Amino acid sequence: MCGIVGITSNKPVSSSIINSLKKLEYRGYDSAGIATLLEGKINEFKCEGRVKTLENNISKIKMLGTVGIGHVRWATHGVPSTLNAHPHSSESVSVVHNGIIENSSTLKKFLVEKGHIFKSQTDTEVIVHLITEYLKDNDLKTSILKMLKKLHGSFALGIIFKDEPDLIIGARRGSPLAVGYGPNENYLGSDSYALKSMTNKISYLNDGEFCVLKKNSVDFFDENGKKINKKILELSSEEGNYDKGDYKHFMAKEIEEQPTTIKNCVNEYIDKINKDINLLNFPWKQNEINSIKLIGCGTAYHSCLMAKHWFEQLTDLDISADIASEFRYRKNKFKKDNLYIFVSQSGETADTFAALDLCNKNDMKTCSVVNVVESSIARDSNFVLPIHCGPEIGVASTKAFLGQMLVLYFFSLKLAYLRKEINKEKYLKKIQTLLKLPDLVKKTLETETQIQSSCNSFVDAKGSMFLGRGASFPIALEGALKLKELAYIHAEGYPAGEMKHGPLALIENGMPVVVIAPRDKYYNKTISNMQEVIARGAKVLLITNKSNDEILSENIWQTVEVENIEDDLLPFLITIPLQKLAYHSALKKGYDIDKPRNLAKSVTVE
């Protein structure tokens, strides 16, 4: 959440900062701002709303300066407004900040007693005043060190100074921050994506570190101010591009890309010649792992629940799935034969990163499933499983969710084979079935027309339910989440058999209910649960797979049938119509599909 850009150069930087802020719009934000330094004066402009508004306004005032910082803000402390937007500036210092300063109230009281006057409701403004206060009696480096030691919480900072015409300070604790290198200019950014149009050479700050950027040099320091060296990494080339093409929204494009991204992932992991799944450089022997803990947030957590089902079906391992924000506050029983798997599209999710950090501090085996291989979570894990989806810009995850599930399925299948819990014949058969998945996903996209016709009932409803059993339950959760995220319709994902234990009271005449009932071993039971809600007046949208057998129920409002495939892989196909349902419901309501309100792509606060 929130995004930072900083550039120090030998030419004006405002247009480059604006272009980089546009690349950070996917993170979710409610206001934007920029500050540049010209002739010993900090020039600041910020506004509520989109980067385009910021761009239009600064083009009128011709904002110049060869050093500058920019920001897109997702509100934490203080309502979305121009006053609370970043940067925050005094006469001598300007700051942009991602994260939360937990002791801001205490610091503000201290600073007010010193005579400082605050203009905003934000926690960030205390940083500006702290630095301003310390600069009265200290040099720049000492002031930065004193300020950083005072702050409690998480932050990534970009700071410019009235009296330093060629300098930006960057600092990190908890929130990600990258440094980019260019000819006669250097860059600061929340992630490599923001900088990629300008450079492919990147370094990453670790927790507690800060850096000093000038146009021809970059110096890094540890938390005690000791100079350190950093590795310069070359960014990997990503498949896909950042343009919508002929699509109205990135999300529409990303849904349609799923056959391609799944094919890319299959090609990366399946050795077709040797008929095997490759987990290259896997650092442990299979007998060193007796339990697996899967950890994620939101959609990534749903992929963890899906993986839990597969691991339990295919292996005898002890498996659990945990929400990252809960995991780190429980009393965990760390054992040397535990493997902890962390799932995150961005690789920067704050709660997931904190859970990983806790496991690393306890010397646990750690593995990450990510879309961004240069991310903090990937860099801090013992082993990385990339999902090879290319950039996903829409805030509501689609192709990354299928990618996460696919990689976790590869892992569960390979581990089952290595542990001799499935035989070679079954293993090879499942690999052959995986090779068919991209084409079947492509065919399933053709359910769109059917789904579009059902959206009006969801758009006009005050709430809805998504029901499923077994492997369909995590998909029910994900379908409900998508409808909430995009169409702002109350939706609950529920185990179908639990309806009788409370939620059935919510069913009323005309309420839309999505029943996910593929023809697996749970089918008959789920159809019985479906009949219970139909009897109470619900309008049931049944999602199942094609079959010659009759559906064992009457009075179904609408049925959508996906393609046939082995039961293990049906969740991939069943997810598609649910993505389309959320998309078209939001489209009918006229909402901003790629940037739903209050949400962010990369959640970098707890």
Catalytic site positions: 2, 601
Q: How many residues does the chain have?
A: 606
CA 158, CA 96: separation in Å to the nearest integer? 5
CA 217, CA 143: separation in Å to the nearest integer? 21
H or E segment and range at residue 443: helix 424-444
End-to-end alpha carbon distance in the chain: 10
The neighbour count for residue 351, using CB atoms within 10 Å, is 23
> Which residues are 173's β-sheet partners?
155
- With both helix axes pointing from N to C terminus, report the angle between 14-23 and 51-61 in degrees, rounded to the nearest 10: 170
Are the C-beta atoms of residues 325 and 351 closer than 8 Å to each other?
Answer: yes
Q: What share of the chain is helix, strand, coil (3-state, %, to 5)?
A: 40, 25, 35
Among residues 156, 153, 124, the alpha carbon closest in space to that of 1 is found at 156
Are the C-beta atoms of residues 126 and 148 closer than 8 Å to each other?
Answer: no
Amino acid at 576: I
Among residues 123, 95, 596, 156, the alpha carbon closest in space to that of 353 is found at 156
Question: How would you label 364-381 residue by residue, b for 16+ Cβ within 10 Å and e otherwise?
Answer: bbbbbbbbbbbbbbbbbb
CA 164, CA 140: separation in Å to the nearest integer? 10
Amino acid at 586: A
Cα dihedral 594, 597, 602, 604 in deg (nearest 10): 170
Cα torsion angle, 255, 259, 264, 268, sign: positive
**Collapsed DSSP state (helix, strand, coil) of residue 58:** helix
CA 258, CA 268: separation in Å to the nearest integer? 15
DSSP code, position 9:
E
CA 243, CA 65: separation in Å to the nearest integer? 29
- Does residue 208 come out as left (phi exceeding 0), alpha (psi in the -120 to 50 range) or beta? left
Cα dihedral 486, 487, 488, 490 in deg (nearest 10): -110
List the structure tokens of 506.
């919510």
List the structure tokens of 120.
């905003």
DSSP labels, 207-255: TT-EEEEETTEEEEE-TTS-EE----EEPPPPSS-S--TT-SSHHHHHH
Q: Give the angle 557-563-569 at the CA atoms, nearest 5°.
A: 110
User: What Å distances lie between residue 185 and 8, 96, 160, 170, 600, CA to CA?
Assistant: 5, 19, 15, 15, 30
Among residues 33, 138, 150, the alpha carbon closest in space to that of 94 is found at 33
Among residues 32, 16, 24, the alpha carbon closest in space to that of 64 is found at 16
